[in-house]
Structure 1
Amino acid sequence: MKIGIILETKESEKAWNAFRFALTAKKQGHEVKMFLMGEAVECEGLTHEKYNVDVQLKAFSDAGGEIMACGTCMKSRQLNETEACPLSTMVDCVNLVVWADKMVTF
């Protein structure tokens, strides 16, 4: 199954669960793509004593999961794209929704 995930928060527990879900789906053989928008573009490097978002993000990326980050949201925060989170557009987000069999939002 093709699973699309839109993440809009950097709240540690919610973002951690989103990436855990994505990684679990990927490990079960699903195609999984994530689109980060709003404050979620700040998830790379995000750590918390209980919920280490960065570890889950990297594990998902290392497992072959695709992450896209809203370029407008990144630019408004003066963030640059990274290998794990390349700049993407709303067209990419729309294409993700069209591509996916199921969409999940966090």
Structure 2
Amino acid sequence: MKIGVIISSNDAETCWNALRFANFCLSREDAVKIFFTGKGVDYQRISTEKFNTIEQAEKFVQSGGRVYACGTCIRLRNQEGSEMCPVSTMKDMYEIVKESDKIVTF
């Protein structure tokens, strides 16, 4: 199955759970893509010891998951894109929605 995960929250626990869910889907051999939008692009800044979003994101990428992030949202927060938060566009989010069998939002 192809699963799209859209994360627009900057709540550490919510992002952590979204990333854990995405990792679980990968473990079931689903194809998974994550798109960070809005406050979600802050997922690296909000990582805590208890809700380690960076660790979950690294595991996701190392397991073959694909990560995208809204370039406009990144720039609005005076951030730069990175491997873990690559600058993407609404077209990329559209393609994820279009090709996915299921979409989950957090």
**1:74-93 equivalent positions in 2, closer than 5 A:** 74-93=74-93
Q: Which amino acid aligns with 1:7?
A: I
Identity within the alignment, % = 41
The list of structure 1 runs, each at least 4 consecutive aligned residues, that deviate by more than 3 angstroms after superposition, is none
Give structure 2 stretches of 5+ with no counterpart: none
- Give the letter for the 2:5 counterpart: I
1:22-61, aligned counterparts within 5 Å?
22-61=22-61
Q: CA RMSD in A?
A: 1.0
The SS at the match of 1:95 is helix
Q: Which residue of 2 aligns with 1:101?
A: 101
Name which of structure 1's ranges 36-45 and 24-33 shifts more when overlaid on structure 2: 36-45
TM-score (normalizing by structure 2)? 0.95
Unaligned runs of 5+ in 1: none
Name the CA shift for 1:34/1:50 in 2 (closer, same or farther; >3 Å).
Answer: same
Q: Is this contact kept in 2: 1:47–1:54, CA < 8 A?
A: yes
Instruction: Find the residue that maps to 2:91 and give its secondary structure.
Output: helix
The TM-score, its normalising length taken from structure 1, stands at: 0.95
Q: Distance in 1 between matches of 2:40 and 2:100?
A: 20
How far does residue 61 in structure 1 lie from its aligned partner after superposition?
1.0
Return the alpha-carbon distance in structure 1 between the equivalents of residues 68 and 27 of structure 2. Answer: 19
